[in-house]
Amino acid sequence: MKRFLVFSALFLTLLLLASFSLTAQASAPAQADQFSTPTPLPDGRIIYIVQPGDSCFRISAISGVPEAQLRSLNRLGEDCALSINQELLLGIGGPAAYTPTPGPAATPTLGLPTPTAPPGGAKICITLYNDANGDALRQDAEALIPDGALSVTGTSGQYSQTSVTTSGPDPVCFDQVPEGTYNLSVAAPQGFNPTTLHNTSLEIKAGDQIFVDFGAQPAAAAQQGANEPQDAGNNLLGLVGAGLLLAGIALGVYAWRFYGRRPF
């Protein structure tokens, strides 16, 4: 009986130590981002972001754009000097297709017609705000995000304009927009993830004043929220393992105390 209890305690302890080792290896290391072929922006531009270790020769090889064309499109010298995160124009490919992404839609609001609006023209104002709480609704305390790319493109090609968001209190507005159907899109700057749809389609009439809010959130905040469920599961597994380990130790002490001095 004594031998059975001692071996049982040792086996349970080894089993628990093995479970701790498997728990520590449960989280796989993050994989590096893979290169993906750039797609045309709504205004037709094909943009590549320079990565560490890139050169004109490498970018030409992976994109198929000759080095001479790269230098010409981006006004680069003969040495083709590049800097990390620099935007390189690879060419013009035509407006990107409208592909909605999961998530709440942007929140357009229709203002009252203005008496001073030019005949046949409308006004579209766009903001990109820091959706700190991720609820896809702009709060008064949520500031605007600068350096986001904006685009207003008519579906029939009657109008196409781009701009960049600012950190000031006012939205970016496009004046004298002709009547028609338009695709409005925004690209959040590096380090932010969208919390609303980054595209919306609107029918615009002469004299309209339209305001559209797009939301984005710092990527670090989104990653922290994604990691919370996994961390909670690991913590629970650790607590269960610690309890089983204590039970194994207690069983071993019991066996030694009551049977340690008796002969087998």
| CA separation for the pair 174, 220 (Å, rounded) | 32
Q: What is the DSSP letter of 133?
A: T
Rounded average pLDDT over 197-212: 86
Find all residues with CB under 8 Å of 241, minimum gap 6, and list them. Answer: 16, 19, 20, 23
Rounded average pLDDT over 211-225: 77
pLDDT at 32: 37
Confidence of residue 126 (pLDDT cuts 50, 70, 90): very high
The tokens describing 42, both together, are 């709504």
Report domain 45-92's class.
Answer: alpha beta
Domain limits, the chain? 45-92, 107-220
Rounded average pLDDT over 220-243: 61
Q: What is the DSSP letter of 156?
A: T
Residue 59 reports pLDDT greater than 90 = no
Q: Which of 72, 51, 70, 45 is nearest to 60 (CA)?
A: 70
Q: Is pTM, for the whole model, over 0.85?
A: no
Superfamily of domain 107-220: Immunoglobulins (2.60.40.10)
* Percentage of residues in the chain having pLDDT higher than 90: 6
DSSP bridge pairs for 214: 128
Confidence of residue 203 (pLDDT cuts 50, 70, 90): confident
pLDDT at 173: 93
Residue 40 reports pLDDT greater than 70 = yes
Torsion sign across C-alpha atoms 87, 91, 92, 95: negative
